[in-house]
């Protein structure tokens, strides 16, 4: 009963929080004279990725690398395949390919950098600090370029009509953004807590929890925000939010986690999930840059890919990679991971609960 109540309260907070977050962000776009995409890549993306930061940092401190790293890698995969897939099904996403070149290069570059740093099997403190520094530098650069070009002093008439009841005063817009962030973060934490409680009861393995249940749970703010933007046909906020969140997940969250405490990268993530993340990132950028967005069939393709990825996780990725038949109790497949040197059994065993 308590778990069901947590789900209900969390979902409600996410929906209302995302609504106010998008309205406040669009209002700020008018006043700061930057494009909605940059607003999505800064205020919206940074605010909605707070759950990933809290979960990954806590998991790393608790000695749960599968949760810590899996949450970030799984969130990026879910952001692209699940969230943009659903958004495109609601309303096709249309983008300006040329305007995305800079951000697309940074998104792919951050994924490649993280993969290269993680491939040693451990994220060290200096690597974490390097990733944080790179994200700060890019954020400052992107903001300065937008201001220098003087873009989007006002939104189009259609956009203004869609958000006619957005906060008019700057302080109300800021309050709307802050209140929305607080609501979506609180809602996500309630949902993740409920999901983890249910998963540990079933004895699901650490890496699988991090890559699926926790990753999807902490991505719910991005999901809610993207769905609201899709219904309002505001593609730039949806895409900018996901691109910003992808960079922030890898560079800021894993950067901060690595700066606080070095974290091991489990073998399954090294040999399978990192490559899945790179593949879906490249696929997204090809659609955005070469095809000008995501059609409904493309959204269905993305969503089908996420379902297949999730099924494969619970089927037992380690056993599949090793050429062994998968078992129902797939959690022992992560045992003896070379990267962690620790058993990857059920979370209850790892935490001593």
Does 254 map to a domain? Answer: yes
Does 181 map to a domain? Answer: yes
Does 351 map to a domain? Answer: no
Assign 154 to helix, strand or coil.
Answer: coil
pLDDT of residue 148: 66
| Gap between the Cα atoms of 318 and 321, Å rounded | 5
Residue 161 has pLDDT above 50, yes or no: no
Between 223 and 322, the higher pLDDT residue: 223
Structure tokens at 198: 């249910």
Number of other residues whose CB lies within 10 A of the CB of residue 143: 15
Assign 288 to helix, strand or coil.
Answer: helix
Residue 111 has pLDDT above 60, yes or no: yes
Does 44 map to a domain? Answer: yes
pLDDT of residue 320: 64
Instruction: Mark residue 336 as left, alpha or beta (left: phi above 0; alpha: psi -120 to 50; beta: remaining).
Output: left
Residue 351 has pLDDT above 90, yes or no: no
Our CA angle for 252, 189, 345, nearest 5°, is 80
Read off the pTM.
Answer: 0.74
Is the Cα torsion angle 276, 279, 284, 285 positive or negative in sign?
Answer: positive
Calculate mean pLDDT across residues 122-138. 92
| Count of domains observed in the chain | 1
Let me know if 112 is exposed, middle or buried by CB neighbors in 10 A (0-12, 13-18, 19+). Answer: middle
Between 164 and 125, the higher pLDDT residue: 125
86: confidence class by pLDDT, cuts 50, 70, 90? very high
Does 157 map to a domain? Answer: no
Q: What is the mean pLDDT of the chain?
A: 77
Between 182 and 54, the higher pLDDT residue: 182
Instruction: State which H helix or E strand residue 122 sits in.
Output: strand 122-123
Residue range(s) defining the domain that contains residue 253 = 2-149+170-324
**Residues contacting 240, CB < 8 A, separation 6+:** 36, 37, 38, 39, 40, 41, 44, 45, 103
What CATH number is given to the structural domain containing 120?
A: 1.20.1420.30
Does 104 map to a domain? Answer: yes
Does 230 map to a domain? Answer: yes
Q: Which of these, 55, 15, 353, lies nearest to 192 by C-alpha position?
A: 55
Does 270 map to a domain? Answer: yes
pLDDT of residue 35: 64
pLDDT of residue 162: 44
Calculate mean pLDDT across residues 49-64. 78
Write the CA distances from 49 to 91, 179, 201, integer angstroms.
24, 15, 27
Q: What count of Cα atoms within 13 Å lies in the side-chain half-sphere of residue 35?
A: 22
pLDDT of residue 339: 40
pLDDT of residue 305: 96
| Gap between the Cα atoms of 114 and 107, Å rounded | 11
């Amino acid at each position: 009963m308590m778990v069901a109540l947590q789900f209900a309260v969390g979902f409600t907070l996410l929906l209302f929080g995302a609504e106010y977050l998008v309205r406040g962000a669009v209002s700020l776009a008018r006043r700061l004279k930057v494009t909605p995409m940059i607003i999505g890549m800064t205020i919206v993306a940074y605010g909605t990725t707070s759950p990933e930061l809290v979960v990954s940092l806590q998991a790393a401190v608790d000695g749960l690398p599968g949760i810590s790293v899996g949450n970030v890698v799984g969130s990026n995969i879910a952001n692209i395949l699940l969230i943009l897939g659903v958004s495109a099904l609601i309303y096709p996403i249309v983008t300006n390919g040329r305007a995305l070149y800079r951000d697309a290069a940074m998104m792919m570059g951050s994924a490649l950098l993280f993969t290269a740093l993680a491939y040693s099997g451990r994220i060290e403190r200096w690597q974490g600090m390097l990733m944080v520094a790179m994200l700060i530098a890019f954020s400052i650069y992107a903001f300065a370029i937008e201001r220098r070009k003087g873009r989007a002093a006002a939104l189009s008439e259609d956009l203004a009509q869609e958000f006619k009841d957005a906060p008019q005063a700057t302080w109300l817009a800021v309050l709307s953004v802050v209140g929305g962030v607080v609501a979506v973060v609180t809602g996500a934490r309630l949902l993740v807590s409920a999901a983890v409680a249910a998963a540990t009861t079933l004895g699901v393995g650490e890496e699988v929890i991090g890559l699926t249940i926790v990753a999807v749970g902490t991505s719910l703010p991005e999901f809610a925000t993207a769905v609201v933007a899709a219904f309002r046909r505001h593609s730039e906020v949806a895409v900018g939010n996901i691109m910003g969140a992808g960079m922030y997940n890898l560079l800021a969250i894993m950067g901060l986690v690595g700066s606080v405490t070095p974290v091991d990268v489990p073998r399954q993530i090294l040999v399978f999930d990192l490559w899945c993340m790179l593949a879906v990132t490249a696929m997204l950028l090809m659609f955005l840059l070469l095809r000008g967005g995501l059609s409904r069939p493309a959204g269905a393709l993305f969503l089908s890919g996420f379902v297949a990825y999730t099924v494969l996780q619970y089927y037992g990725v380690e056993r599949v990679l090793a050429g062994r038949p998968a078992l129902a109790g797939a959690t022992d497949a992560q045992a003896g991971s070379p990267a962690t040197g620790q058993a990857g059994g059920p979370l209850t065993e790892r935490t001593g609960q």
